[in-house]
Amino acid sequence: MAAPKRTQEQILSDRAMIAHLSMRERLTIRQIAARLGMTHQMVHYDLKAIRRQWQERTQETLDETIAEEIARLDALELELWAAWERSIGKRTETIKEVQEEGVRIPSPDGGERIMGTRRRTRARELISEGVGNVAFIRELHKISQDRRVLLGMEEKQQNVKIMVEREHAFANLDAPPPNIMAEPLALEGFIGPDAG
């Protein structure tokens, strides 16, 4: 006779107890089944469901964390690009020059006095172009590397490199093997099986 069907509440209660017994008390499937009065197949099925749920939750958390980190890198990248643009942009600097004009008259103490002094201020603009700060480019490159690692592209790139190397190695299998006997081996002090 088949075991009675469990309600959703009973399933959740059983799974909570199974998780506790499995993780906290380190009981085996058979020990858990004996303690809860269930078949070991049912405990096994529930444990699989529990682990699948944990994996899904972990993956969701990991995906959220990666997404947040990529958003942070994106914001930092925008700031760095703006700073780079400012570092190569045109710079305008205003220089003020002050001139005094008037009639110079010798003074009794041996110096000069200026009569009818008039001050003239003249502004001059100096425009220059920046060459750019390379530190921004280095940081942008690091961000790009970090993004590739987060997205798993670095590992994929390494796998592609290995595959290309293997294809190259297998492509050379049709070539005749090198003649290793063409050059005699020079082994000093080697005593073969026929010696002595």
CA–CA distance, 156 with 166 (Å, rounded to integer):
15
Q: What is the mean pLDDT of residues 90-115?
A: 74
- Domain 11-66 bears CATH identifier 1.20.1050: no
Residue 51 has pLDDT above 80, yes or no: yes
Return the domain boundaries, the chain: 11-66, 90-129
Q: What does the mean pLDDT of the chain come to?
A: 79
Dihedral of the alpha carbons of 181, 186, 190, 192, in degrees to the nearest 10: 30
Q: Where are the beta strands (DSSP E) in the chain?
A: 90-106, 112-129
DSSP state of 191: -
Share of the chain above pLDDT 90, in %: 37
Residue pLDDT, tens place only, 57-84: 888 888 898 899 999 999 999 999 999 8
Q: What is the mean pLDDT of residues 31-47?
A: 94
Q: What is the mean pLDDT of residues 104-121?
A: 73
Of 69, 80, 79, 83, residue with least CA distance to 148:
69
Higher-scoring residue by pLDDT: 3, 78: 78
Q: In this predicted structure, what is the pLDDT of residue 186?
A: 47
Residue 118 · residue 100 · CB < 8 Å:
yes
Contacts of 154 (CB under 8 A, 6+ apart): 145, 148
Q: In this predicted structure, what is the pLDDT of residue 13?
A: 93
Residue 46, judged by CB atoms within 10 A of its CB (0-12, 13-18, 19+), counts as buried
Structure tokens at 72: 């942070």
